[in-house]
Copies of this chain bind each other. A is one copy, B any other.
């Protein structure tokens, strides 16, 4: 195992906005971010959903940026009064905030091209904390930004995704977590003891057991995760054999 593959690089995702907390909107960003980051060797270890309240944003960011290698936020960087993420992040880092010349140029050119008025409200989207660097937004232009280990992105999924693509080169990944899934129409409780023994024999693999229901059938998906593909393959083979020991044929992957 190389030194690079052994290092665990961690991240926290902070979803900022009342709309997910109220149940109005179902978050679509966490899963994308988690999968994307894992591909480059960054593991999301925690996520938080918090409201558009300055004190909460400041306290949350300062807590998680000290605890994780990277922090990714979504939401609250638009032109309206409830977009308070940039100001809150500046406060968290104790730096001033003002109109960023590059952001002003990008947005100025955009509104000139589209014929929209570059209002004071829209200039709000050029407010960037001092010392931050911009994250390009190829879709709707208004940039995100990076300050320290915190990456501030839009909440609209399409825009977040182009920002994530644009910032990926700045991240230094470590071990990539691989996963294998084995499913079978068998109860968790039936295999639980043998599964616990299997987990003990593979301490570097994390074995998750997830019951599923599909109409009138039910079963269990075992998800094995680890950084060493060869060990993972062996453990997955043993998990399948374990299920077969109960007279049930497992399938690779999720239940159909």
Question: Is A247 part of the binding interface, using a Cβ–Cβ cutoff of 8 Å?
Answer: no
The answer to whether B80 and A188 touch across the interface, beta carbons within 8 angstroms, is yes
CB neighbours of A17 from chain B (8 A): 208
The answer to whether B19 and A23 touch across the interface, beta carbons within 8 angstroms, is no
Query: How many copies of this chain are found per oligomer?
Result: 2
The answer to whether A21 and B34 touch across the interface, beta carbons within 8 angstroms, is yes
Q: How many residues of A contact B (CB 8 A)?
A: 66
Question: Is A216 part of the binding interface, using a Cβ–Cβ cutoff of 8 Å?
Answer: no
CB neighbours of A22 from chain B (8 A): 34-35, 38, 44, 177, 179, 225
Question: Is A112 part of the binding interface, using a Cβ–Cβ cutoff of 8 Å?
Answer: no
From B19, B45, B56, B121, A210 is in contact (CB under 8 Å) with B19
Question: Is A2 part of the binding interface, using a Cβ–Cβ cutoff of 8 Å?
Answer: no
CB proximity of A84 to chain B, nearest CB, Å: 12
The answer to whether B81 and A195 touch across the interface, beta carbons within 8 angstroms, is yes
Complex Cα spacing A156 to B56, Å: 30
The stretch among A24-32, A164-172, A227-235 that forms the contact with chain B is A24-32
Complex Cα spacing A46 to B55, Å: 13
From B31, B50, B83, B223, A26 is in contact (CB under 8 Å) with B31
The answer to whether B213 and A158 touch across the interface, beta carbons within 8 angstroms, is yes
CB neighbours of A25 from chain B (8 A): 210
CB neighbours of A188 from chain B (8 A): 78-80
Interface positions, chain A 33-53, Cβ under 8 Å from B, are: 33-35, 38, 44-52
19 pairs across A/B with beta carbons < 8 Å? A17-B208, A18-B208, A18-B223, A18-B225, A20-B30, A23-B30, A23-B34, A23-B44, A26-B28, A26-B31, A48-B48, A78-B188, A78-B189, A79-B189, A80-B196, A81-B192, A81-B199, A116-B189, A121-B192
